[in-house]
Amino acid sequence: MIKAAPDLLAIAAALLPGTRLDHAFTATEGNIHDVLLIPGAAAVRVSKRPLAAASMPRRIEVLRQLASADLPFQVPTPLTPVTTFDDRAAVAVSWIDGIPLPKGEGDPQQIAEVLTAVSSVPLDPPLLAAVDDRAQGPSWSTIIAEEILPRLPARWQSEGQRRLDTALALDPVPDTLVHGDLSGSNVHWTTDGKLLGILDWDLAMPADPAIDAAQMSWHGWDNVRRAVPATTYHRARTWDALFGIGHLVATMNGRPMTSPDGFVAAIVPWLEEAADGAGEA
């Protein structure tokens, strides 16, 4: 639990007048937004950078579309309009009860339930329009080939190319709704193990459902293997092997690569750690 910063409390008070903020606290720091949690009442999302501020109305439209889709789980719904505070944008969304599962825990049936629930959401035209930004920027493979591989240390460049070629060689599959960050605190369960809600749809996109399966490796790859068909598991491992699925999704859905050097600085330790782990195994 992180003590709430005064500026976030002031924004929350302006968005939600009359709401008590005595027990508000800041969620674990994210790259895109600051999130102030007001237990039982709301979550206030505040952009950290101009790009996030500009994209917030579109992200909130995704939540509106999902809220009208009669889903088998709860999603945060907007409680206020997107509001500008100097150069930051902010919005309050509804509170979702429940608890996340600890890292490494979760049985295959729970993992399969989440993956099926998300991938089964119909990509009807309004939702597809809200989540599909692929035309706004270069393809993920172009970003990797042109922006990332040349910046890798020499010892990783040929191996990075091999992993990219392997991912590109995957047979095409129909797009489904992909959450893009389907792990950890973004999936909430009841105390008796029933799926209650899924949060943080900022990375939602139409894509290969195996991308979300790779995200669920939070619960352990063996659990994922037992939760999905063998072909999905193979695809999930292939996507993850490139640079780690949590990094890779940042290149997808038309998202601009604003700091390729920073991206490389993040993925090289991941590559090294994964290689060390494979050697020990």
Q: Residue 276: what pLDDT?
A: 75
C-alpha dihedral (18, 19, 25, 26), degrees to nearest 10: -80
Neighbours of 32 (CB within 10 A): 17
- Asked if residue 143 and residue 66 are part of one domain, the reply reads no
Check which CATH number belongs to the domain holding 224 and give it.
Answer: 3.90.1200.10
The alpha-helical segments, DSSP class H, found in 68-209 are 108-119, 125-131, 140-143, 154-168
Contacts of 46 (CB under 8 A, 6+ apart): 8, 11, 33, 34, 35, 36, 85, 88, 89, 90
- Asked if residue 149 and residue 26 are part of one domain, the reply reads no
- Check whether 133 has a pLDDT greater than 60: yes
- pLDDT mean over 125-140: 95
- Asked if residue 130 and residue 231 are part of one domain, the reply reads yes
Residue bearing the bigger pLDDT, 281 or 190: 190
Residue 143 lies in a domain: yes
CA pair distance 209, 206, nearest whole angstrom: 9
pLDDT tens string 148-158: 999 999 999 99
Of residues 178, 66, 64, 69, the one with CA closest to residue 118: 178
Q: Residue 94: what pLDDT?
A: 97
pLDDT tens string 205-261: 999 999 999 999 999 999 999 999 999 999 999 999 999 999 999 999 999 898 999
Q: Residue 69: what pLDDT?
A: 85
- pLDDT mean over 125-136: 95
pLDDT tens string 14-32: 999 999 999 999 986 667 8
The alpha-helical segments, DSSP class H, found in 132-219 are 140-143, 154-168, 210-215
Expressed as residue numbers, the domain containing 166 is 108-280
Last residue of a domain, one of 94, 119, 134: 94
Check which CATH number belongs to the domain holding 63 and give it.
Answer: 3.30.200.20
pLDDT tens string 49-99: 888 899 999 999 999 999 988 888 999 999 999 999 999 999 999 999 999
- Asked if residue 235 and residue 185 are part of one domain, the reply reads yes
Predicted confidence band at 115 (pLDDT cuts at 50, 70, 90)? very high
Q: Residue 82: what pLDDT?
A: 97
Torsion sign, CA atoms 102, 104, 105, 106: positive
Burial (CB < 10 A; 0-12, 13-18, 19+), residue 50, is exposed
- Residue whose structure tokens are 């088998």: 72
- Asked if residue 231 and residue 140 are part of one domain, the reply reads yes
pLDDT tens string 196-217: 999 999 999 999 999 999 999 9
- Asked if residue 198 and residue 167 are part of one domain, the reply reads yes
This prediction's pTM: 0.92
Residue 85, strand partner residues:
88
12 sits in which H/E element:
helix 6-15
Predicted confidence band at 277 (pLDDT cuts at 50, 70, 90)? low
- Asked if residue 258 and residue 132 are part of one domain, the reply reads yes
- Asked if residue 126 and residue 35 are part of one domain, the reply reads no
Q: Residue 280: what pLDDT?
A: 45
